Chains A and B, each alone.
Chain A
Amino acid sequence: MADQPILLEVKGLKLHFPVGGGWFGPPRGWIRAVDGIDFALRRGETLGLVGESGCGKSSTARAVAQLHRPTAGQVLLKGQDLARLDGKALIAARKDLQMVFQDPYGSLNPRMTAGDIIAEPLRIYHTRGILRLSRQDMDLRVGELMERVGLSRGFRNRYPHQFSGGQRQRIGIARALALRPEVILCDEPVSALDVSIQAQILNLFKDLQAEFGLTYLFIAHDLAVIEYIATRVAVMYLGTIAELSDAADLYRNPLHPYTQALLSAAPIPDPEVEATRQRIILAGDVPSPDRARTGCPFVDRCWKRMDACRTHTPRLREAGPGHQVACFLYHDPE
């Protein structure tokens, strides 16, 4: 995968939301949802983004897709900075970057039929003159897409409420595929699904990737799901990346104490294993991301903290081949 070209590169991405201050006054503070992260996606790979609620993984996806405009940083899609584009230029550039959302109930318009939902991206790009498609072409395309994601063409005129959760997620995937994108941002696409359906959808993602050479940014909070689908993994904590590594290396040799705690807390569906394994149980909760802080964001919950962790902020540094970590256990504070 290392010889493939870089499709998407994120540099110094920040996304801050103002809080308080009323309608006209200046904001009283900022929620630092994403606070300076860098990563790159090569063609055909899957970067898993994992972390707990509030760590900024969904905000990252939304900032990459320009659904929220980034506060700072660059989002380079095939060398073009999406953060600097507007209007039609942004829409045209975003054709190669589509998104699948978490909630298969909330992300489909209940008043539109499945066929119309899947055709909508095509229609939008057609009316703006970016894409030329006849009515027949569009119908044909929708039929193909439905079949490809495992939905019968006969369901075209049904409404979202007539589908189960798994089928709804298939509609969302077909919609994301409609424009033949190269990169798909998947924001927790399986976490709302039942176990048996989750496996179906994960397999579908893998098959589509093999068939169309897709590149995924795959967000999940479940480490086992990420392990199954991702080739590289970024672990996020409080708006920053704590560890970024090839998937196998991350699971075999987790370096950051937070990654170690996450892995040891992930339940294993086997009572024999559960009875014997050692757990790292963290104290306390994730702190609120509402103020700038010096020092490591994980310092309050870390059982390996040192003095330097309070005074210096660790940056993501190479700790081995293809393995980066932001922790002073592995490099000295500068």
Chain B
Amino acid sequence: MDAEIILRVEDLRTTFDTDEGLVKAVDGVSFELRRGETLGIVGESGSGKSVTNLSILGLIPSPPGRVASGRVLFRGQDLLTLPGPALRAIRGDRIAMIFQDPMTSLNPFLRISTQMMEPLMLHQGLGRRAAKARAVELLLLAGISGAERRIDQYPHQFSGGMRQRVMIAMGLSCNPEILIADEPTSALDVTIQAQILDLIRELTRRTGTAVILITHSLGVVAGICDTLCVMYAGRIVERGPTRAVFAAPRHPYTQGLIRSVPRLDRKYQFVSCIPEGDTEKGPERLASIPGQPPVVVNLPECCPFHPRCDQAMELCRHRHPPATDLGQGREVRCWLYPEGAGHG
């Protein structure tokens, strides 16, 4: 994919001051996003995936949080140094976001119409009537039937899946260039999740919007993302095109993660549409990653994954691995792949 790069994050570091010490929630994250691309950020809780995106949007509560260093270049403009009003003009208009929980991110006291019309009137300068007409149109696009009637209802009158559709309609209302979706389907059931992912895929393809999708589900990433970043303890440990990473994961953490998810398609033809003869018998035991995710307080200089890694070496205990370029858009942070080794 050679579309133009619209967002470039360089060496982003975000820290939080806590009673236990300094938490490096995001510790040197770099990636880029191209027009129309869907980028997945996966990681477990506490890996820094949400904080990365809140930092991009300037939504880190300060204190205790602080974006310590780095640049976030959106069309050449550094969002981190942008004054408040200029940032607010971009946020919600050219960069929109959807949060995990559609109940708490909609105001329960306001009608859907009020909440949907606000960004349209604020950013697009539409009048009340035009804004409402546009909002109805967006709800219909998001698959809410009877939108003319339902737009005057309150959030509690919508089901979870419907509320998430409203959020998506709101997120896309100003034709953003980037949509950041933080676990948009985690609170939803699988049949509803399939509907919502389909909707995001369809709408963003039509508008050319780039998506940053934050999730813990490898299944969701496999279904919708072009590229993939795997985060661990505040760092991107592996990055590359989704298909390539799944086909041959390089980082031991990525390998363990992919192995530890139970899969339906290994044994059953119905699920995968793979001819019955080709199926292999799945393993009787899941391969799990031993140990616990690290607490990122006062982390010493080392590879944060080494206590759980079955391929750890002496070097891993003392120095943090740099990012190694493996070619074909792939990058990994692991001492198994020293600098320059990947090009062979």
Instruction: Give me the interface of A with B, judged by CB distance under 8 Å.
Output: 52-53, 164-167, 194-200, 202-203, 206, 221-225, 227-228, 248, 251-254, 260-274, 276-279, 281-282, 285-286
Contacts and interface: CB of A to CB of B under 8 A. Distances in A.
A130 B261 CA distance: 42
11 contacts: A52-B192, A195-B261, A196-B44, A197-B292, A221-B189, A222-B262, A265-B190, A269-B221, A270-B265, A274-B222, A285-B162
Contacts of A278: 273
A269 B191 CA distance: 16
B286 A264 contact: no
Given A263-B270, A265-B190, A266-B190, 6 more contacts: A199-B286, A227-B264, A252-B267, A268-B222, A269-B219, A272-B243
Interface in B271-296: 271-274, 285-290, 292-293
Nearest to A279: B194
Contact of B223 (A52, A228, A251, A267): A267
Contacts of B216: 194-195
B263 interface: yes
Contacts of A272: 243, 246-247
B256 interface: yes
Ranked nearest first, the 8 interchain pairs of A and B with the lowest CB-CB distance are: A267-B219, A199-B288, A52-B189, A269-B218, A194-B44, A199-B260, A196-B289, A265-B194
Given A200-B290, A271-B243, A274-B223, A263 B264 contact: yes
Contact of A285 (B192, B273, B286): B192
A281 B292 contact: no
Contacts of A265: 190-191, 193-194
A199 B289 contact: yes
Contacts of A252: 267-270
Nearest to A253: B270
Given A196-B44, A251-B271, A270 B263 contact: yes
Contacts of B267: 227, 248, 251-252
B195 interface: yes
Interface string B237-271: 00000110011000000001110111111011111
B107 interface: no
A319 B3 CA distance: 54
Contacts of B18: none
A224 B262 contact: yes
A196 B290 CA distance: 8
A271 B249 CA distance: 13
A252 B161 CA distance: 29
A184 to B, nearest CB: 19
Interface of A is mostly: helix
Contacts of A264: 194, 271
Contacts of B219: 266-269, 274
B294 to A, nearest CB: 10
B45 interface: yes
Nearest to A260: B270
B286 A202 contact: yes
Given A267-B223, A270-B246, A195 B44 contact: yes
Contacts of B195: 281-282
Contact of B273 (A165, A222, A248, A277): A277
A221 B217 CA distance: 14
A199 B287 contact: yes
B220 A273 contact: no
Interface of B: 44-45, 159-162, 189-195, 198, 216-223, 242-243, 246-247, 256-258, 260-265, 267-274, 285-290, 292-293
Contacts of B160: 53
Contacts of B221: 269
Contacts of B264: 223-224, 227, 251, 263, 266, 268
A195 B256 CA distance: 10
B285 A195 contact: no
A318 B47 CA distance: 48
B262 A281 contact: no
Contacts of B193: 265, 267
Contacts of A164: 292-293
Contacts of B223: 267-268, 271, 274
Contact of A225 (B217, B262, B265): B262
A235 to B, nearest CB: 12
Contact of B265 (A53, A221, A273): A273
B258 A269 contact: yes
B265 A268 contact: yes
A189 B243 CA distance: 31
Pick from A196, A262, A286 the residue with the most CB of B within 10 Å: A196
Contacts of A266: 190, 219, 264, 271
Contacts of A253: 270
A261 B270 CA distance: 11
B263 A263 contact: no
Pick from A253, A282, A285, A286 the residue with the most CB of B within 10 Å: A285
